[in-house]
Structure formats: C-alpha cells, structure tokens
Amino acid sequence: MERELAKQILEETKNDFNRIAPDFSRTRSRFWPELVTVFQGFAKDGNKILDIGCGNGRLLDLYAGKGVDYTGIDNSFAQIEEAKKRCPNNSFLVADALKLPFADKSFDKTFSVAVLHEIPSLEFRKAFLKEARRVLKDEGLLFLTAWDLRGRIGLILKYSFLKIIKRSGLDWGDIFIPWGSEVQRYYHVFGKREISRLVKSSGFEIIKTGVARKQDRSMANLYLIAKKQ
C-alpha cells in the first residue's frame, strides 16, 4: 500500500471512531469473556501498564482491585472522553500509537486489544510494534489481539478481485466492514502465522498464541503474548 493512502486510512479511521464513540462504547460495555482467562493473571501489583487503543478503558475490568499503574491512550478524543466517563479515576490521554509520548522502557506490560488489524500497511504496523517495544522494559510483555476475520470469505474475495483488476490500492487481506449506514471500517485480515511472523520480526519472543472464540462461536480473536528481546 502506498504511504499516502495508508495515512489517509489512518485519518479516516480516527475520524470514524470520533463519530461512533458513544455507540461503540455501548457495544464494549465489558471485556470480552473469552479473553479474560487469557490475559487476567499476568499483571502484578505495582506493574506499569500501557493500554494502546484503549477505547472506553474496559481493559481495567481485568485488574479491578490490583495495584497496577494504568495508562490508556487512543488517537480518538471521543473515545478518550468515553473512557474518562467510564473510569474517572484513571489516566487516559489522546496520543498517536505510531509515536508514543513516553520514554524508553517506561512500562512492564503493554496491551493492544483489537487495534493492530486497523493499522493500514506493513510499514505502519511495524512502526506500531516498534513503539510498543520501545516503551517496554527489558523482558516486558506485549499482549495483542486481532479479530479473526478469515471467515469473511465474501469480503476477502471482493477486495482481492478489486486488487487483481487494479481498482484498489489496498494490500492483500485488506477489507472494509460497515458500522451502521455511514462508516466503513478498515481491517487487515490476519492469520496466526502472519501475525506471529510480524511480531517476531519486531524484536519479540512469542510466548503464547491462540484463538479465543465467543461461546456462541459468532466471533473469534487471534491472541498473542510476547516478550521483549
């Protein structure tokens, strides 16, 4: 994907999240149950945690009662407003995940739930992971999820066809999914091998990967836990 198109998609994604923030927050009223057991036991009292793409701050539900030092960032000011309303006693700020406003080795754990698949182009995904690694302490842990969209065969074929006939500047695996009638949200369809390879090449050692499915199997998330090398 050309850099200018990727930058345009990033800007449109931010603007779309500003537009849909209240409705989006309503649909994210709690942390996804299928991921609770995957991530819950890792943070310890005193850990400094960064939540990249925090949305309404629902990750905090995992660590209620824990003495963690939590910071949530999102590039959507409207999402941050939702987070402040939901969790008024915690630290949230508007910030760019590709240029984090923190010193090197600031955090023990970095979380990014359902964000990486919204980052267009390999260049920007690498920049995202480079920043996540930079702000982690030595041997700090990265917790990452991406929607498992491999079942969306119709959309994948549609956008693949557009690329084949040179009607699209998107990369292979890029699709758009509507939110309501006005917003088309960009996603990159990851497989386990692709996302693991990307994280490894960004300076992490993979500890655990898997697929977490909703009980009714209507949705699934790829998840990955990795250690900074």
| Residue 9 neighbours by CB distance under 10 Å | 21
Which pLDDT belongs to residue 163?
A: 83
Give the position of tokens 């000011």: 77
Which pLDDT belongs to residue 43?
A: 85
Helices 192-201 and 122-134: angle between axes, nearest 10 degrees: 50
The C-alpha atoms of residue 194 and residue 181 are separated, in whole angstroms, by 31
Q: Is 132 helix (H, G, I), strand (E, B) or coil?
A: helix
Which pLDDT belongs to residue 63?
A: 86
Contact status, residue 208 vs residue 134, Cβ threshold 8 Å: no
Which pLDDT belongs to residue 70?
A: 95
Contact status, residue 130 vs residue 97, Cβ threshold 8 Å: no
Tell me the residue type at 215. Q
Give the position of tokens 């292979």: 172
The C-alpha atoms of residue 62 and residue 27 are separated, in whole angstroms, by 17
The C-alpha atoms of residue 40 and residue 100 are separated, in whole angstroms, by 25
Tell me the residue type at 228. K
Per-residue DSSP letter, 116: G
The C-alpha atoms of residue 181 and residue 158 are separated, in whole angstroms, by 19
**Model pTM score:** 0.93
Within the chain, which residues score under 70 in pLDDT? Answer: none
Element housing 15 (H / E): helix 3-26
CA distances from 72 to 109, 118, 159 (A): 12, 18, 33
State the sign of the Cα–Cα–Cα–Cα dihedral 33, 38, 42, 43: negative
State the sign of the Cα–Cα–Cα–Cα dihedral 22, 29, 221, 156: negative
Nearest CA among 34, 55, 195 for reference residue 111: 55
Contact status, residue 89 vs residue 67, Cβ threshold 8 Å: no
